Every structure is written in structure tokens, then in C-alpha cells.
Amino acid sequence: MDKTAENIKSKFLELGVDIPIEDIVDRLDKLVTKFKVPLDEARRSVITYFLKENDLDRNAFFGGQSTTPDSRSTPDVKLNGIDEGGKWVNIKAKVLQLWDSSHESVSQVGIIGDETATIKFIKWARDMIPDVEEGKSYYFKNVVSNEWNGRFEVTLNKNTVVEELDEDIEVISSPIGGAGDGQPAPMVNVADIAEDGKWLSIKVKVSQLWDNSHESISQVGLVGDSTGTIKFIKWTSADLLDLTEGNSYLFNNVVAQEWNDKFELTLNKNSSIEELDEDIEIASSSIIFAGAMVDVQSGSGLIKRCPECKRALTKGACMEHGKVDGTYDLRIKAVLDDGNTAQESILKRDLAEQVSGITLDDAISMAADALDQGVVLDQMKLKLLGKYFIVTGSKVDRYILVDSIELQDGLDMEMLDELITEAEVL
């Protein structure tokens, strides 16, 4: 996101307007984090906002490039001819791969190719364009080229027309390098993952399995090796081996995808999983956060999990295994506030028991007596809200996955002085 903000600032500077980088980052962050707008869409929205604020013409910013297509002038190009962002083009290409997407705003995403090159494409859900199929060839009219981190992609939008072709578009040989072209994907470490759409193989240990409410996703969580950690998504359609927290695996032919400046691994129908006897060491990437606990969120307290996949149940049902006789568990989804940042944090059973003083057996008894599991959440709020804690753990997306938590009996006076000084400055 910082690179996007810098690029926007640089463009406006060329027009003689110096916009504070903090203002650009703030608007981008609100759109992406709070409203879940895709980064590419957020970028366009921020540019439009500052153009209006400074009474600038869009053509001045985009160098005369039109923001809507002209059917008379949109050129037919080969994929290797896409060398500039923000251009309207027509292309004939074959769909080589379709990737599963966990983002509701994206209808389809994958790789298309012709005899000259391959390129990533994105089709937005809001634009109601017919779905394309793997292995078929199409004429894509009025698509827009975009550049991201030095790589080009094309986006299908409300002006795009997609026509299926009878011909089979010839595709450049060995276009992708991995499962997509029948070749084994290269073995890498987590720290080596730096390219969107890259097929790879990797040895990792499962650090965390997260709750998941998407039927299309079988498992989601955090894996790592000695060089770092990374989010993974295993699609239900892939029909792969279920992973166990704490075990080590070889992932063959998985895809690295970049979203909001972060990489994640997706396991699909071309992937395979092998359990390893070795214990992969995971690099330490802990952060420390201190603040007052201002909320214990819904989904905390006494919950039930599926005995098969360990997902939290919703109304007695597991997204994967349906109605099951769940096993009880405790967790806390807390919000800590240091005066500047409200940080969401997740505590597993052992830490939830430690910090609340309520054991799992206590919680089960409380719920049975009250005929309501919600009584446990209420008691946790009474015990914890307003108290000051220091937590240590891994930062993943918006959460800290807490490894340790410590109650502070009193506020550090030096820290209080710093907060007062900051407030006076503001």
C-alpha cells in the first residue's frame, strides 16, 4: 500500500501539486481495511478524490488516456504488446488457469495466454460479465491494462464484452512454470516468495488453523518455515488432505498470490500435500502490543468446535461436515487500545483460562446452570474490560495471534507522560 501511495504522490508532484503522503495512505487504508475495497479500485478512488480537491483534469493525470473506451479506436493487441498501464485494448486469448478467490468483489481471476505471452486477468463480480472456462479461447473487447509491482495484468469491467471463439488460440510454450504447464514447481522458502501468480513447492509447518465461514474454503491459516510465515488457503474443490496444527508438510504445486501488498499460498486441484516426519522450525516473528482491553467480541467465551476439522460451529453446524456433536473450547477475541490503535487479538484456551480465571470446566458448568453459553462471555467482559495488558504474538492481517499475555497492575508513569505530551502536541 505504501508503494501505491508513493506512486500517487509522485504523479501529482509532476502536476505541481504536493499532497502529504499521510493523507494518501489514510484514504487508501480506510478503503482497503475498513470497506474491503480492492487496492486497484481504492487507488482509482483516491486519485479521483484528489483530482477534484485540486481542480485538476483527469486527462492531465493520466497523460491523455481515456477512462472509458472508444469503440472506434480500441486496438487489437497481442499480449506481449501490453507494455503500459491504463490502456484500453482488445485481446484474443486462451484461459490457461482459473484460481479460486476468497474475495467477494472478484468474480474470476487467473491466467490467459496467446502465442506471445501470458498475463493475469481479473473479472469483478459487480460487472455481471459471463464466466469464462479453463481451456477455452475468447475475444476480450475493451479490457484495461494495469501495472502492479512491475508486472502487467488486465481487468474486465462493465464496458468489457467477452465472445467465445471457435478457434483454439495457440499459447506460448512453457508459459507459467509449474503445475499449469505440467512441469514440477520449484522448491522455495517462505522468504523467497515475491511474485504474484508463481507456482511453487514448499516445506512448512502449520502454525495456526483459523475459523472459516466460507463453504468454498476447506482450511485457512498460517504456515511457516525457518525464514518466515505466510497465510494459506486450501480450497474445498481441491479435495486435499486435511492439515493438523503443529504438523509439517510438503506442499507441491501451490500458487503464490498477492493481495493488499501481502502474499498468500493457495492450494488447488493441481496441488498435493505430503505429511513429513521432520519438525520444520518456524522463524520467530513476534510483536508486542500494550493497551487497555476495550472489547471482548462476539464469538468469545464458551464455543463448540467440529471434532473432525476443529472449526468453530455456527448454530451447531460445521461448514465442512454439517451437523455434528461438537466439542467445547474457550477463546477470547479481544480488542486492545493504546490510545492510537485499536488492535484485535485472539487468545486460545490456555491463555483465555489464564487471563479470565475461568477454566473450561467452569465455563461448561456456568452455561449449564444458566441454560445459556452467553453467560461465560458476560463474565469475561466483567473480569477483563478496562484492564491494561501487554500481549506478545504473531501479527496476521488485522489480528495478533497471542502467545503470551500479562496483566499490568498499574499504568507505567513514563508511558503516561509520553501519552500526555503527545496529546498536548495534537
DSSP 176-223: SSSGGGTSPPPB--GGG---TTEEEEEEEEEEEE-----TTEEEEEEE
Residues 304 and 390 in one domain: yes
pLDDT attached to residue 287: 85
Question: CA 407, CA 394: separation in Å to the nearest integer?
Answer: 19
In a domain, 174, yes or no: no
Phi and psi at residue 401, in whole multiples of 5°? -90, 100
323-369: pLDDT as tens digits: 888 899 999 999 999 888 899 999 999 999 999 999 999 999 999 99
Q: Label residue 408 by pLDDT band (50, 70, 90).
A: confident
pTM, rounded to two decimals = 0.47
Stronger pLDDT, 205 or 118, i.e. the higher one: 205
Q: What percent of the chain has pLDDT over 70?
A: 84
175-205: pLDDT as tens digits: 444 444 445 678 999 999 988 778 899 999 9
Evaluate if residue 71 carries a pLDDT over 60.
no
Residues 226 and 253 in one domain: yes
Phi and psi at residue 212, in whole multiples of 5°? -145, 130
In a domain, 412, yes or no: no
Residues 140 and 111 in one domain: yes
In a domain, 417, yes or no: no
Evaluate if residue 67 carries a pLDDT over 60.
no
Grid cell 485481446 is found at 91
| Nearest Cα to Cα of residue 231 among 214, 251, 213, 256 | 256
In a domain, 170, yes or no: no
Residues 378 and 299 in one domain: yes
| Dihedral angle over CA of 353, 358, 363, 365, nearest 10 | 140
Residue 75's CB is within 10 A of a number of other CB atoms, namely: 10
Grid cell 489480528 is found at 399
Q: What CATH number does the domain containing 219 carry?
A: 2.40.50.140
Extract the C-alpha cell encoding 34: 475498513
Mean pLDDT for the stretch of residues 230-250: 89
Residues 403 and 308 in one domain: yes
Evaluate if residue 406 carries a pLDDT over 80.
yes
Evaluate if residue 161 carries a pLDDT over 70.
yes
In a domain, 371, yes or no: yes
Evaluate if residue 174 carries a pLDDT over 50.
no
Cβ proximity of 213 and 197 under 8 Å = no
Q: How far apart are the first and last CA of the chain?
A: 26
Residues 293 and 393 in one domain: yes
pLDDT attached to residue 343: 93
379-397: pLDDT as tens digits: 999 999 999 999 998 877 6
Residues 308 and 259 in one domain: no
302-311: pLDDT as tens digits: 999 888 777 7
In a domain, 172, yes or no: no
In a domain, 71, yes or no: no
Domain boundary among 164, 199, 226: 164
Task: Please compute, for residue 330, the number of CA atoms within 13 A of its CA located in the half-sphere on the CB side.
Answer: 23
Residues 86 and 150 in one domain: yes
Residues 324 and 378 in one domain: yes
pLDDT attached to residue 410: 55
- Give me the DSSP letters along 18-40: ---HHHHHHHHHIIIIIS---HH
Stronger pLDDT, 418 or 315, i.e. the higher one: 315
Residues 115 and 196 in one domain: no
Cβ proximity of 263 and 256 under 8 Å = yes
Evaluate if residue 77 carries a pLDDT over 70.
yes
Report how many domains make up the chain. Answer: 4
Write out the residue range of the structural domain in which residue 29 sits: 2-62
